[in-house]
Copies of this chain bind each other. A is one copy, B any other.
Amino acid sequence: MEKPIGHKVWAIAEGYIPPYGNGPAPQFTSHETACILNASDQDANVKLWIYFSDRDPIGPYKVVVPARRTKHLRFNDLRDPEPVPTDTDYASVIESDVPVVVQHTRLDSRQAENALISTVAFPVVS
Contact = CB atoms under 8 A, between A and B. Distances in A.
B115 A115 contact: yes
Contacts of A33: 14
Copies in the complex: 4
Contact of A14 (B9, B89, B115, B118): B118
B16 A11 contact: no
A13 B120 contact: yes
Contact of A111 (B14, B93, B104, B114): B114
Interface in A3-45: 5-6, 9, 11-16, 23, 27-28, 33, 35-37, 39
Given A118-B117, A124-B6, A89 B111 contact: no
Contacts of A105: 14, 117
Interface string A83-115: 000000111010100001111111010111111
28 contacts: A1-B57, A1-B93, A6-B11, A12-B37, A13-B120, A14-B35, A14-B105, A16-B72, A35-B89, A39-B93, A51-B68, A52-B70, A53-B70, A57-B68, A70-B89, A71-B89, A91-B101, A101-B122, A103-B122, A104-B118, A106-B118, A108-B114, A111-B112, A111-B113, A113-B113, A113-B115, A114-B115, A122-B123
